[in-house]
Structure 1
Amino acid sequence: MQAAITVTPEQLPEVLLHVAVVRPVFLWGAPGIGKSSLVRSFADSLGLECVTLLGTQLAPEDLIGVPQIVDGRSRFAPPVSIARDEPYCLFLDELNASSAEVQKAFYSLILDRRIGEYELPAGSVVIGAGNRATDNALARPMASALVNRLVHVHLRASATDWLRWAAGAGIHSWVLDYLRNRPDHLWIAPPKTEEPFSSPRSWHMLSDALHSYGDGIEDETLRVLAFGTLTAGHASSFRAFVKTVRNAFGLDAILKGEAGWPAAAEDRDLLYFLAETFRARLVKELAADKASASPAARLLAHRGKALLVQLAEISLEIAQIVIATDDDGNAVLPSWFLVEVTRDLPRLVAARA
């Protein structure tokens, strides 16, 4: 299921506060963007215990229970994980990955808030979650009867929200600083092949591993960890970033003229990273209209043209990365800056000769 209307992690608690308390909610989203942790945090905010059931690990009898004889009559006894006296948050994770039989077993629990003779205590909330088929994740079609029993909310990854959370959650400083510079690397659509890919979850895993090793981690070990958790391009870029941190060598020093572009062959990954960071800085700080550009942005543009010449002398291919169009062929940098680059480049080259 896809939707044009989505919410960020920061917006989700308010939506759940007003909706989940009156109707069951199904939370859609890509793998690794924090659906489960957000639901648990929401339950904590209400003072409710969060009871998680994984749809992929259930059989119908795990919900319906088993028959027992009471006063000469049989009745189904729901499992203790569900049959509770106090209100709680029932979190049906991977609901749409469960079998059709298990999904059917959820019908009455979701709509009528009851299983057999057991009814959820007043004040309980029911939230389901799952991935989309387009995420290359395990997802089975949900019957229209089940779809129609839920309010559907679509969650999207937000670098701003995640970084705000991460700053107080003990995420490793290298991960924080890298994603502050490259927030577009927080999440990428899951690939069609079986390979690691970047997501809030994978960055968190990398952070945990870095904490375990400590800042003295060897470069080859860092390479193993980064390529074992992230999209390959992001892993290479992150490794280069760590190299700049360890050597106190960064883009700001280049912009100020305190250092030049690294030209050694063994620093080619570092050069790629700095060029991509340079491009991101230009995109972020250069206004679409030159007339509205701040003095700092004008200075960056002026300095940027000279740096492009220096970069091209080392690698024309990498210099082209800075001014390249996006995947659809559209210009990313402001047109006025690109015009000035085209106009001034011959003069700048001649001045360097």
Structure 2
Amino acid sequence: MSTGHDTADPLAAADSLNRQLRAHRTEPAASAQLEALALAVSANQPVLLWGEPGIGKSAGMEQLASRLGVPLETVIASVHEPSDFAGLPIVGDDPAVTGVPMAPPDWAVRLAKAGRGLLFLDELSSAPPAVQAALLRVVLERRVGSLTLPEPVRIVAAANPPSSAADGWHLSPPLANRFVHLHWTHDPRTVARGMAGTWPTVSVPVVDPARVPGAIARARGAISGFLTARPGLVHHMPADAEGRGGAWPSPRTWEAALRLLATAYAGGAGQEAIAAALTGTVGDGTGIELLSYLDQLDLPDPDRVLADPEAFALPKRGDRQLAFLTAVVSAVQSGLTQPRWEAGWAVLAKAVEAGVPDVAAQAAVDLAALRDPDWPVPSGIDGFLELLQLSGALPGGR
């Protein structure tokens, strides 16, 4: 007896239902973790998303790839061998002449052909140490076998905490120190709205080219000033295995923090996203100190000061003085002309007038090194002549 619903394919209606359930819309919504992910991806820093299974890490990557308009290649790290990332040897006609190239896997070839994209390394903490070691070259050098991934390819990984991962491992310190670590959580209200068919969209910071020189100068001044004031935080590897497998400060991660901060300044990223990205790079304790320092720093725009150095008053605090003068020299370097170089000396002269020439000593040496041999020595350099002659930055005096 026919029910009236018989079809040639008994699963066709079910497949249609599933397709309709997958359809959804997106809406702008504030999400610090999504914005922090987009900030790190914009800065081209490898990202590691930490979160419990099933909370949407993969879905977030699919949405980000769609938002950026780039292909997404997902690789489950835990089911691969080291050779899958180091490459498999291919013996040619004469290995003594041509060598033995290492063949890359198909996903790497697809990304190389596309020239851009997102490489998503999932279940990283479930990969054994040998596989993690092989991944070092992928993350650091962008090399997969004999193939080099194009610079526009971004790398994002995901991991479950070892306590909740099947056969979980702590990340090795060399691998962990190459990532921006972001904690991926779920918002019950967002999930409930998603079940109704609407998910938040990823807001990607758009770098304004006109703001780039000033953003770089501000970021250089801030990070350099902080590390000068807190030299003990330049490198501090945690003693425990769990801490070493997360974010901690090192020269490598400070360089990543510099790139993140410059990208944030140039792209107008929100404060919560900046905080998540920076603490995920240099660690919670160090990151909180850095954020407090940035909050109190409030550096003036170095380009505006260079345009009218006489109207500028040197900050009272020593750490702000050092950070700002470093930013000024970086701003001069990014757009080097004789008038800007001379304006830089007018700014540094403020330190002599304030009785703190030692604060500007390194900035003076760096600024002198930018001088074109045909440029005359400005009067603002007088307070640093002896220092510059001793350092060799100003040979032969005036």
Normalising by structure 2, we get a TM-score of 0.39
Bigger relative CO (Cα 8 Å, ≥ 6 apart)? 2
Normalising by structure 1, we get a TM-score of 0.43
